[in-house]
Amino acid sequence: MQTHKIAVIAGDGIGPEVINEGVKVLKKIAELDGSFQFEFEFFPWGCEYYLKEGRMMAENGMEILSGFDAVLLGAVGYPGVPDHISLWDLLLVIRKSFDQYINLRPVKLLKGAPCPLKDVKREEINMTFIRENSEGEYAGSGSWLFRGKPNEVVIQDGVFSRHGCERVIRYAYELARKEKKTLTNVSKGNALNYSMVFWDQIFREVGKDYPDVETHSLMVDAASMFMVKDPARFQIVVTSNLFGDILTDLGAAISGGMGLAAGANLNPERKFPSMFEPIHGSAPDIAGKGIANPLATVWSVSQMLDFFGHEDWGKRVLDVIEEMLVENTCLTPDLGGTAKTWEVGDRVVEKLAK
Ligand code: NAD
Ligand code: IPM
Ligand code: MN
């Protein structure tokens, strides 16, 4: 029997609440299928761990994780630990050390999902964001000079390597070709006169290998506007780390909210484990109340199933999410319902079994 080894990092706030439901779904699927199984190991890393141990993960944490096929992550960050420490020492270190340079985030308005845009048809919101996930504005390079002095200076570098830009842009072209979709490049070459001019140049260079792919290029400011005014323009989108972060929260807002937004951090070469997570944070405002929406996590579980080659199950899980949205009888408060987090998970499992 095929075994997939999953490292589970539930993390902080609503992380453990939503992760429970993701694990529940994976267990049920393995049971229903019978030809593969999951082996879970749970790691208590996160802000509580930090307050006890003085670190966000075990000292040999990355080495431990490297023995798994995938990581399932809830959310990281909680008041009491500075965000730049909690995120850099757990989530971001995993993305970078495991060279998960593709952050694949679907922005698709499923049937039944609420949308704040008027005059937009449901099928017009159906995009896939390919966000650069290893460098760029998130390179973590810079300096802090004369700290606390009147002449204090802070520098945050953007690092755009040819290798780093080419590989993510090529991945996006390949996906556009495979899915016969248009590819939109989002950048900001008018103001960012080194990094984004270079990015755009590479977009054109790589594009020479894909004459069959229809492309568009937009500045990130205009892209934000069009995502609201004319989302049908976007199919596959490729963009930098920070722009992708921001635009996918906007994407979540137009496709049902943070409770429905999923993401996969992929190392396409499979040299390292990939990581699957909802794109939302630890939501301290609702943590511990049992009302967090687990469907974003369930959607990321669907991405994990795809990545393992169980696309039939990946699709089935997504179909179940859509059925639940249409039925509108077992949803959490963010989607206008009264269900608890675990009730939503239980319903997903029940539907899968049918
Ligand atoms: P957030 O995503 O945690 O919350 C934003 C808003 O969305 C809140 O009102 C929250 O209640 C709501 N929300 C989020 N997920 C929801 C869900 N599943 N169901 C229902 N409502 C949901 O963003 P924030 O408040 O900016 O950040 C809180 C903490 O999380 C910070 O420490 C931040 O650094 C961290 N963070 C972590 C990740 C991650 O681990 N991937 C992502 C974003 C933010
Ligand atoms: C996300 C998050 C992270 C990011 C933060 C928590 C570092 O916002 O996954 O979207 O900016 O990548
Ligand atoms: Mn984000």
Q: Can you tell me which atom of ligand 1 is nearest the CA of 74?
A: 40
Check if 279 has its Cβ closer than 6 Å to any atom of ligand 2: yes
Closest C-alpha to ligand 2, atom 8: 245
pLDDT of amino acid 88: 98
Strand 236-239 vs strand 126-132: parallel, antiparallel, or unpaired?
A: parallel
Domain assignment present for residue 107? The answer is no
From the CA of 265, which ligand is nearest? 2
Q: Are 132 and 244 in contact (CB under 8 A)?
A: yes
From the CA of 277, which ligand is nearest? 1
Q: Tell me, yes or no, whether 132 and 73 share the same domain.
A: no
In testing the pocket of ligand 1, which one of 84, 245, 258 has its CB within 8 Å of the most ligand atoms? 258
Which residues form ligand 1's pocket by a CB distance below 6 Å?
A: 14, 18, 75-78, 83, 87, 91, 258-259, 277, 280-286, 292-293, 296, 334
Q: Are 222 and 237 in contact (CB under 8 A)?
A: no
Closest C-alpha to ligand 1, atom 30: 281
Q: Quick: pLDDT tens for 236-295.
A: 999 999 999 999 999 999 999 999 999 999 999 999 999 999 999 999 999 999 999 999
Average pLDDT (137-156) is 98
Check if 245 has its Cβ closer than 6 Å to any atom of ligand 2: yes
Q: Can you tell me which atom of ligand 2 is nearest the CA of 87?
A: 7
Range of the domain at 27: 1-100+261-354
Q: Tell me, yes or no, whether 267 and 251 share the same domain.
A: no
What single letter denotes the amino acid at residue 312?
A: D
Domains identified in the chain, total number: 2
- CA dist., res. 260 & res. 113, Å (int): 9
- 276 C-alpha to ligand 1 centroid (Å): 16
pLDDT of amino acid 287: 98
What does pLDDT average to over the chain?
A: 98
Last residue of a domain, one of 255, 283, 308: 255
Average pLDDT (305-333) is 98
Q: Tell me, yes or no, whether 197 and 307 share the same domain.
A: no
- 245 C-alpha to ligand 2 centroid (Å): 6
Question: pLDDT confidence of 325, banded at 50, 70, 90?
Answer: very high
Tell me, what CATH number does 89's domain have?
Answer: 3.40.718.10
Domain assignment present for residue 106? The answer is no
pLDDT of amino acid 26: 98
Check if 87 has its Cβ closer than 6 Å to any atom of ligand 2: yes
Domain assignment present for residue 301? The answer is yes
Domain assignment present for residue 108? The answer is no
- 354 C-alpha to ligand 1 centroid (Å): 33
- 4 C-alpha to ligand 1 centroid (Å): 28
Q: Tell me, yes or no, whether 231 and 279 share the same domain.
A: no
Domain assignment present for residue 110? The answer is no
Last residue of a domain, one of 255, 288, 316: 255
pLDDT of amino acid 172: 99
First vs last Cα of the chain: how many Å apart? 24
Question: pLDDT confidence of 132, banded at 50, 70, 90?
Answer: very high
Q: Quick: pLDDT tens for 45-82.
A: 999 999 999 999 999 999 999 999 999 999 999 999 99
From the CA of 283, which ligand is nearest? 1
What single letter denotes the amino acid at residue 33?
A: D
Domain assignment present for residue 109? The answer is no
Beta partners for residue 154, in sequence order: 144
Last residue of a domain, one of 232, 255, 278: 255
Average pLDDT (292-309) is 98
DSSP letter (8 states) at residue 70: E
Question: pLDDT confidence of 18, banded at 50, 70, 90?
Answer: very high
pLDDT of amino acid 126: 98
In testing the pocket of ligand 2, which one of 88, 91, 138, 247 has its CB within 8 Å of the most ligand atoms? 91
Contacts of 3 (CB under 8 A, 6+ apart): 36, 37, 38, 39
What is the DSSP annotation of 262-314?
A: EEEEE-TT-SS-EEEEESS---TTTTTTT----HHHHHHHHHHHHHTT-HHHH
Q: CA-based Rg of the chain, rounded to a whole angstrom?
A: 20
- 200 C-alpha to ligand 1 centroid (Å): 32
Task: Give the E-state strand segments of 27-125 in sequence order.
Answer: 36-43, 70-75, 102-108
Q: Tell me, yes or no, whether 242 and 145 share the same domain.
A: yes
Check if 12 has its Cβ closer than 6 Å to any atom of ligand 2: no
Closest C-alpha to ligand 1, atom 24: 281
Residue 172, token pair as written in the block: 């996006």
Q: Tell me, yes or no, whether 320 and 273 share the same domain.
A: yes
Q: Can you tell me which atom of ligand 1 is nearest the CA of 15?
A: 40
Residue 242 gets the label, from left (phi > 0), alpha (psi -120 to 50) or beta, of alpha
Domain assignment present for residue 280? The answer is yes
Q: Tell me, yes or no, whether 9 and 90 share the same domain.
A: yes
- 218 C-alpha to ligand 3 centroid (Å): 21
pLDDT of amino acid 238: 99
Q: Tell me, yes or no, whether 61 and 190 share the same domain.
A: no
Q: Tell me, yes or no, whether 164 and 88 share the same domain.
A: no
pLDDT of amino acid 41: 98
Residues with CB under 5 A from ligand 3 (ion): 245
Q: Quick: pLDDT tens for 203-221.
A: 999 999 999 999 999 999 9
Check if 93 has its Cβ closer than 6 Å to any atom of ligand 2: no
- CA dist., res. 105 & res. 264, Å (int): 7
Q: Tell me, yes or no, whether 126 and 245 share the same domain.
A: yes
Domain assignment present for residue 105? The answer is no
Does pTM top 0.85 for this prediction?
yes
What single letter denotes the amino acid at residue 266?
A: L
Q: Tell me, yes or no, whether 171 and 226 share the same domain.
A: yes
Please state, as a whole number, how many other Cβ atoms lie within 10 Å of the Cβ of residue 230.
12
From the CA of 73, which ligand is nearest? 1
Q: Tell me, yes or no, whether 61 and 180 share the same domain.
A: no
Q: Quick: pLDDT tens for 221-239.
A: 999 999 999 999 999 999 9
